[in-house]
Amino acid sequence: MKRIIVILGLTFFALTSCNVNKTVNKKMETATTDKPIFSNGYSEVNGLKMYYEIYGQGKPFVLIHGGGSTIQSNFEKVIPLFAKNRKVIAVELQAHGRTSDRNADSTFEQDADDVTTLLKNLNIDKADFLGFSNGGTTTLQIAIRHPEIVDKIILGSALAKRNGVPDWFWGFMKQAKLENMPEQLKTAYKQVAADPNGLQIMHDRDAKRMVNFKDIPDEQIKSVKVPTLIIIGDKDVITPEHAIELHRLIANSELAIIPGGHGEYIGEITTIKPDFKESELSVPLIEKFLNKKNE
């Protein structure tokens, strides 16, 4: 039980002139049997060098990772599937993975502004969004703060209220230590980060943000008018009651409770089991929602 708590807590924390000329180091990766072709680069975003990857063609679909994570640790399993029909834009937020730190505390509002600025730099006027865990909270803030850039959103295991997780979660976060972070997440960070010592900074920013988490007011949540899909696992750290509350507050929303743990429905790295099957991912459910005509 203790290991489950450690994994859920740490994967939860978070577990920003707008033109393409501000994008640097863009290159094309070669394909392998396991890795699709993609372009990647860094963009000057609100004081950050923000890293992104782009896969496929079609309508833009933005993926926003959770706390303590990278693009690959959250989305490696689903990116090739979504990229068959979409232009997938995956980002790394402040102090995560390959993106720099701005020497300031992380906030969901700032992350939302960062992602929006990045998309403007990439000349993307409107997109669909999938945010997981803290990335789901960031996605909710994008819909609140920048509705003009949003078509549809998927809130994967997103938190909007402190009562949306069990009471033990907040005590755990106050005691969070880097040595308790899941090894899969540490390894994923070290594989891509320019400075492995940044792992402590990422950890501390994420932990502090969660300890200081404040409820998003009902009025702001109700202001979200775009089609919204809310997803949690039936063994998630997010409670079913919280997912239902979000569903009731967001008028144009759908709710799905999927068998499995926190992020298992997208193949998040800490949930992968030896008998993992691609068919168990919730990609068809998400694509059905995305392809549905807006009413």
Label the pairing between strands 48-55 and 60-64: unpaired
208, 247, 251 from 224: Cα distances, Å: 27, 11, 8
pLDDT at 117: 98
> Which residues 6+ apart lie within 8 Å of 33 measured at CB?
none
AA letter at 126: K
Which sign does the torsion angle of CA 13, 227, 239, 221 carry?
positive
CA gap 135, 164 in Å, rounded: 16
pLDDT at 190: 96
pLDDT at 33: 42
- Give the CATH number of domain 2-291; options: 3.30.540.10, 3.60.15.10, 3.40.50.1820, 3.40.50.300: 3.40.50.1820
CA gap 66, 92 in Å, rounded: 9
121: tokens are 């730099």
Which sign does the torsion angle of CA 156, 161, 167, 169 carry?
positive
If we measure between CA atoms, which residue out of 121, 72, 122 comes closest to residue 92?
72
If we measure between CA atoms, which residue out of 228, 255, 230, 54 comes closest to residue 150?
228
Label the pairing between strands 253-258 and 48-55: unpaired
- Which 8-state DSSP code applies to residue 97? T
If we measure between CA atoms, which residue out of 40, 182, 14, 184 comes closest to residue 96?
14
If we measure between CA atoms, which residue out of 165, 81, 166 comes closest to residue 130?
81
pLDDT at 61: 98
pLDDT in tens, 217-256: 999 999 999 999 999 999 999 999 999 999 999 999 999 9
pLDDT at 9: 44
pLDDT at 167: 94
pLDDT at 195: 87
Give, for 55, the enclosing helix (H) or strand (E): strand 48-55
Strand, helix or coil at 224? coil
CA gap 99, 200 in Å, rounded: 14
Which residues are 43's β-sheet partners? 23, 50
In 3-state terms the chain splits into helix, strand, coil percentages (rounded to 5) of 40, 20, 40
pLDDT of the chain, 295 residues: tens digit per residue:
333 334 444 445 434 233 333 555 555 444 444 567 999 999 999 999 999 999 999 999 999 999 999 999 999 999 999 999 999 999 999 999 999 999 999 999 999 999 999 999 999 999 999 999 999 999 999 999 999 999 999 999 999 999 999 999 999 999 999 999 999 999 999 999 988 889 999 999 999 999 999 999 999 999 999 999 999 999 999 999 999 999 999 999 999 999 999 999 999 999 999 999 999 999 999 999 999 987 6
What count of residues does the chain have? 295
AA letter at 107: T
> Which residues 6+ apart lie within 8 Å of 275 measured at CB?
none
pLDDT in tens, 18-55: 333 355 555 544 444 456 799 999 999 999 999 999 99
